[in-house]
Structure 1
Amino acid sequence: MPIYLYWGEDDFAMNQAITTLKEDNLDRDWIQFNFDKFVGDKEDSILSALMQVMTPPFGSGDRIVWLFETNIFQSCSEELLTQLQRTITQIPDNTHFLLTSSKKPDARIKSTKLINKYAKVVEFALISPWQTEILIKKVEEVAQEKQINLTPSAIKILASCVGNDSRLLWQELEKLAIYQGNNKQPIDEETVKSLVNVSTQNSLQLAQAILDRNIPSALELVTDLITLNEPALRIVATLVGQFRTWAIVKTMIESGEKDEKKIAESADISNPKRIYFLKQEIKNRSSKELLSSLPILLELEAGLKLGADPLNILETKIIELCNV
């Protein structure tokens, strides 16, 4: 009874894993009979999936029943839980039950505990943009998987270019694979710069330009990001997260706190060593200035959600932020 729980916000990486699961277990000639996908946010649809998962596959190959974007890990009625308990141990060995959700399962509820007991659980979390070492490691792993030879400096520049966008990483590595062909010489930094569409400009660099009150650089960065089809709300989300972190860290420093672990805990930073670098970034800004930036960012977010032109409102608010 193979059972899988895939969850997280990195939908591209999750879909890659689902594709692999299908390729490994389904016979292409029988896929229309042995692959079923059910929407997972309605109880009747979930019950239908539980009935289907008990059906042996037709022809050759296994069966996969996919319960897509399910909410049973956030709430589950007693009736549904009872049916889940009855079904979970009776699933045939050649039927694979896949449950996916973008939300983190609530570990406190019975349905989550039940599935965790039997399922292979895989998290597909987006890497935080500032976690450069993890982003670099991710590039290394995917490059090795695709058998692409990159120099260390090329790996670093590619990680800077694509950030935590798994889809973009795969697209750019496919392009580099075509360029490399049968040539075993490692691809260097200059080649990556010439072939990769995304420049090293990203939302974190935009936040730093705003912090430095560098209006020309900030406006150039936001224009490049919009030109490269970076979603405006994603840009704002990164800015909000960065300025919130800066504000918390600066506020605690000004209050006299010296314990970097306590500062990191308050700012929701997993690695206390990062505090040293944050201190350097905000040494010339006060907590009052940083806190004053947050309402402007909220106004920017609200404007975008109300339909304002992304580039116009971003430019206006970025100038305002630089002048705080």
Structure 2
Amino acid sequence: MVLDIWKQIKQKDIAPIYLFYGTEAFLINETKQLLLRQILNEEELDFNFSVYDLEETPIEVAIEDAETFPFLGERKVIFLHNPSFLTAEKSKEKVDHNLSRFEDYLKEPAPYTVLVVSAPYEKLDERKKITKEIKRNAVTVEAKKLNEPELKGWIKEKAKGNGIEFESNALEQFMTLVGTNLFLISSELDKLALYTAGEKKIDTDLVEKLVSKSLEQNIFTLIEKVVQRKLDEALRIYFDLLKQNEEPIKILALLAGQFRLIYQVKELSRRGYGQQQIAAYLKTHPFRVKLAAGQASKFTDEELSHLMGLIAEADYQMKTGGMNKSLLVEMLLFRLKR
């Protein structure tokens, strides 16, 4: 778990070799930057920090650097990017790597070097000897999509680093508004920290006042208003999105995606799947599944099929007809109202 590694790094418990892999690039980058800050000061960065792209540079060049004593400092940090030799994917590398040299280094790393291997791949090839060796000798962290408890823990940790703390209901509200994009979450936390300036507690009123809703969250809220038969509020959200220069075709696509998710969650729940299983099956975030499950309970199967038919019809007209696109979505909202 990334948060456990963060705690170790902050306590100066630094390993000689790290392997970060997975598709959550924001988490990988955050952890790498944390390592840099804990190991090197500003003056040392120019002399004792190196980055190698392994699609362009042989691994033995980086290893030679790792074995060279640091200059004007006690330790050095080396980042290795794009080690596609750890995967089963067809290599894009322009060079040949001396992996035996790398394997030897993994067994006896230089005590003054912190080597960080950054692999932005969903899976590693566990059959390869080099993969087995690096996982055996390195602190390995899989940077995957965080589930809801992990996401809450990550937000709390980031908030703490910014000198703020959420009340329990405020954290739920924050997650609902921002969604699961870690870059957006980090940006909104920075905004809250700047605004509060000394006030540590964040309540629901402050979240509602300051936090920007993601486009997906606006669509979720719009659907909620339709379900509650509050067409005037649904239209207000829609017109606000148009004022923000959101394209009607994109809004329609997100409406279609949300209703499709609601339908799928409803069907898979009926078959006995839990929310985590549904998230894995649909390859979406568990928090999105949780929100969709709440909306799914408000529709019958017949209603969902009818609504999806209306959206498909609007999509066809938007792509083939000459009617004004924004007016098409507006008319759809009138028809969605049950």
| TM-score, structure 2 normalization | 0.67
Corresponding residue for residue 168 of structure 1: 184
CA drift of 1:3 comes to 0.8
Corresponding residue for residue 39 of structure 1: 53
The answer on whether the counterparts of 1:157 and 1:200 sit within 8 Å (CA) in structure 2 is: no
1:95-129 alpha-carbon deviations (Å, 9 max, x no partner): 0111113222324232322211111122333346x
The answer on whether the counterparts of 1:53 and 1:97 sit within 8 Å (CA) in structure 2 is: yes
CA drift of 1:35 comes to 0.8
The answer on whether the counterparts of 2:252 and 2:311 sit within 8 Å (CA) in structure 1 is: no
Corresponding residue for residue 145 of structure 2: 126
The answer on whether the counterparts of 1:154 and 1:192 sit within 8 Å (CA) in structure 2 is: yes
The answer on whether the counterparts of 1:5 and 1:121 sit within 8 Å (CA) in structure 2 is: yes
CA drift of 1:11 comes to 2.8
> How many angstroms apart in 1 are the aligned matches of 2:263 and 2:138?
41
> How many angstroms apart in 1 are the aligned matches of 2:24 and 2:248?
18
CA drift of 1:18 comes to 1.4
> How many angstroms apart in 2 are the aligned matches of 1:227 and 1:121?
46
- Read off the aligned partner of 2:27 and give its amino acid letter: A
The answer on whether the counterparts of 2:55 and 2:83 sit within 8 Å (CA) in structure 1 is: yes
Structure 1 position 189 matched with structure 2 position 204: yes
- Read off the aligned partner of 2:64 and give its amino acid letter: M
> How many angstroms apart in 1 are the aligned matches of 2:98 and 2:256?
39
The answer on whether the counterparts of 1:13 and 1:124 sit within 8 Å (CA) in structure 2 is: yes
Structure 1 position 101 matched with structure 2 position 115: no
Corresponding residue for residue 115 of structure 1: 134
Structure 1 position 26 matched with structure 2 position 44: no
> How many angstroms apart in 2 are the aligned matches of 1:41 and 1:225?
42
Corresponding residue for residue 21 of structure 2: 7
Pair 1:155–1:262, CA change in 2 (3 A): closer
Runs of 5+ unmatched residues, structure 2: 1-14
CA drift of 1:17 comes to 1.6
The answer on whether the counterparts of 2:81 and 2:117 sit within 8 Å (CA) in structure 1 is: yes
CA drift of 1:134 comes to 4.9
C-alpha RMSD of the superposition: 4.7
The answer on whether the counterparts of 2:22 and 2:142 sit within 8 Å (CA) in structure 1 is: yes
Give the secondary-structure state (helix, strand or coil) at the position aligned to 1:268: helix
Once the two structures are overlaid, the 10-residue window that deviates more, 95-104 or 141-150, is: 141-150
> How many angstroms apart in 2 are the aligned matches of 1:192 and 1:209?
19
Question: Identity rate of aligned residues, in percent?
Answer: 23
The answer on whether the counterparts of 2:22 and 2:119 sit within 8 Å (CA) in structure 1 is: yes
Corresponding residue for residue 156 of structure 2: 140
Runs of 5+ unmatched residues, structure 1: 304-311
| TM-score, structure 1 normalization | 0.69
Instruction: Give the number of aligned pairs.
Output: 304
Give the secondary-structure state (helix, strand or coil) at the position aligned to 1:174: helix
Once the two structures are overlaid, the 10-residue window that deviates more, 92-101 or 149-158, is: 149-158
- Read off the aligned partner of 2:103 and give its amino acid letter: Q
1:162-198 alpha-carbon deviations (Å, 9 max, x no partner): 22232333333233223333345x2322222223344
Pair 1:54–1:321, CA change in 2 (3 A): farther
Once the two structures are overlaid, the 10-residue window that deviates more, 8-17 or 76-85, is: 76-85
